[in-house]
Amino acid sequence: MKLTTLCYIEKDGKYLMLHRTKKKHDINKDKWIGVGGHAEGTEDAQMCLLREVKEETGLTLTSYKFRGLVTFISDKVAEPELMCLFTADGFTGELITCTEGDLQWIEKERVLELPTWEGDAIFLKLLIKEDEQRFFTIRLVYEGDKLVEKSLQLY
């Protein structure tokens, strides 16, 4: 199982969203997601988070929170993914042009209107809800783009 990170950076009631449009053969093509990616070498989740956010956005995170674990299984990929999900509310630096898509600040209430993975909408509701700050695990199984199994546990 490969280790990945995904982060939703917040500023002024908005999330920084990445519209994946630039990479060929991208499982996330045309979807809106947070920023992140695969761990490299001996990186742990925190190291991967900080590197991926810097590479994709130009921002250096200064305040972030580990919110949940997402097990992503798809018939489109050879290996399941264990995704460490973070939110961040502090950073330094200026946004750069992302090589993987277009970065945009989107009001949190509008995020669920965007084309995302069906399972992402489940955990995004938890992140957006101000009174729901519990850690969670979620297992998402896809056949193509269709979510065929989901299991959510709040802690």
103 near 18, Cβ under 8 Å? yes
- Parse the chain into domains and list their residue ranges: 2-154
The 3-state DSSP class for residue 97 equals coil
Is the confidence at residue 21, as pLDDT, over 80? Answer: no
Q: Are strands 136-143 and 60-74 parallel, antiparallel or unpaired?
A: parallel
Q: How confident is the model at residue 150 (pLDDT cuts 50, 70, 90)?
A: very high
pTM here is 0.92
Q: Spell out the CATH class of 2-154.
A: alpha beta
Range from 6-15, 31-40, 103-112, 125-134 carrying the lowest mean pLDDT: 125-134
pLDDT of residue 23: 65
Is the confidence at residue 25, as pLDDT, over 80? Answer: no
Q: pLDDT, tens digit, for every residue of 54-97?
A: 999 999 999 999 999 999 999 988 899 999 999 999 999 999 99
Q: How far apart are CA 127 and CA 85, in angstroms?
A: 10
Q: pLDDT, tens digit, for every residue of 84-94?
A: 999 999 999 99
pLDDT of residue 26: 65
Could you tell me the two tokens for 80?
A: 């399941």
